[in-house]
Amino acid sequence: MKICHAFLFFSIKFAGGTSDLMYKICKRQAADGHSPVVYSGDYNFDQELADTLPKVQFKVLKSYLDAAGFSIMPDLPKLANKDVPHFDVVHMHVFRTFQNYVLWKKCKKYDIPFIMDPHGAVPYGTRKRWLKRLFDKLWGRQILHDAAFCVSGTHVGAREYKECAPDLPDDNIVILPQPFEMEQFKTIPERGLFRQKYGIAEDKKVIMFLGRVHHIKGNDFLVKGFAEYAKNNDDALLVIVGPDDGHMDACKVVAEELGVQDKVIFTGFLGGDDKNSALRDADIVCQMSRQEHCAWAPFEAVMCGTPVIVTEHTGSGEDVQRADAGYTVAFDDVMGLAENFEYVFAHYDEALAKVKKAQDYIATNMSMDALAKEYESVYARAIEKTNKA
């Protein structure tokens, strides 16, 4: 199959999990004999990363207003007119973008099926709400209806679709867990390398976050919960691993206000073995998101042997509860989070037993080997559905 993957950015350093997932899916699909094509803007495009996928074709377009959050690609309509008729299926990543609007129009024009895969981007959140509602009123809901299938990693994501488009048929929604490439976890770094690099003693209790430092990730809540725990645990450190996405300064202000600024470390982006070394050296990895489509970073921590705590109302919470992989807490329950820290450290053998059980669950049910054929099946069903229409 000739499969177009469309996302505004191609950079794991800059765009995080969506780019990471697209990279891994394209890599696997090319290895399986398919012909993936990536549509991306040029903003922070990672050419070095693209060069590691020699069997994947990249169409990189000049993009404007990215820093303002719009990513307008004036040359896309012309390129899509030429390319879309030759695609078997278009896999659209995220949701309310100029890129997806253009591709939706061209897919409709040429009767090419497309899959919508928003990666948690459907809810209105707290920012640009009026603009998102306007987009949905003009185009968004119709895009969801016209998609051959709307993919979600969890039932939380399925509910988010229905909240946005209540009349979206249930049969149009496909639950497809985010796949893990297990190869990177076959050999994980030995414990101690990350701590040595950052001067962290072995007896320190390290609580860690991994991901973009964005408002939606809830690190302000994490800092508050950590500060409450640290009142009676002077040996604790909070390590926030990931690039700033507009929320790091706010987190630093919270840390200073609560007097724990000397106990909070910001490392910036870490990838590959450096990332896994950080996860290996953490005692607990947390994801305190306001909304989250799946437990991507927490399950990476699990595969590195580290217990996890996530917010319970999110797709991440659903994943963790389904696999019994760790512990959950209500968002903004500061005392509850501090008590979770106390409990995990006091019952660490129980936490490690959950990790081991979850590792087996992920390998069996969420590996790229297990899910690559599921993606192919969804594409094939989409093509068949469009041909019958």
- 2-11, 119-128, 283-292, 378-387, range with the lowest pLDDT: 119-128
The CA-CA-CA angle for residues 285, 322, 327, to 5°, reads: 35
* Three-class SS state of 225: helix
Please name the fold of domain 183-365. Answer: Rossmann fold (3.40.50)
Does 17 have pLDDT greater than 90?
no
Q: Report the pLDDT averaged over residues 349-358.
A: 98
pLDDT value of position 369:
86
Distance CA 285, CA 238 (A): 10
- pLDDT tens-place string over residues 207-234: 999 999 999 999 999 999 999 999 999 9
* Three-class SS state of 207: strand
- pLDDT tens-place string over residues 72-114: 999 999 999 999 999 999 999 999 999 999 999 999 999 999 9
- pLDDT tens-place string over residues 109-119: 999 999 999 99
pLDDT value of position 112:
98
Distance CA 368, CA 24 (A): 8
Distance CA 156, CA 338 (A): 26
Tell me the percentage of the chain whose pLDDT exceeds 70: 100
User: Which of 310, 317, 242, 305 lies closest to 279 in space, CA to CA?
Assistant: 305
Name the E strands within 280-362. 284-287, 308-311, 327-329
Positive or negative: CA dihedral 231, 198, 269, 245: positive
Does 378 have pLDDT greater than 80?
yes
The dotted CATH code for 2-179+367-388 is 3.40.50.2000
Q: What is the total residue count of the chain?
A: 389
Contact 272, 240 (CB under 8 A): no
Q: Which residues contact 152 (CB under 8 A, 6 or more apart)?
A: 118, 158, 160, 161, 173, 174, 175, 176, 293, 315
DSSP letters along 245-263, please? SS-HHHHHHHHHHTT-GGG
- pLDDT tens-place string over residues 242-254: 999 999 999 999 9
Q: In what order do the strands lie in the sheet with 264-268?
A: 264-268, 236-241, 205-210, 284-287, 308-311, 327-329
Q: Report the pLDDT averaged over residues 149-155.
A: 94
pLDDT value of position 184:
84
Q: Report the pLDDT averaged over residues 8-18.
A: 91
Rg (CA), the chain: 21
Domain with CATH 3.40.50.2000 in the chain: 2-179+367-388, 183-365
Average pLDDT of the chain, as a whole number: 95
Distance CA 287, CA 42 (A): 30
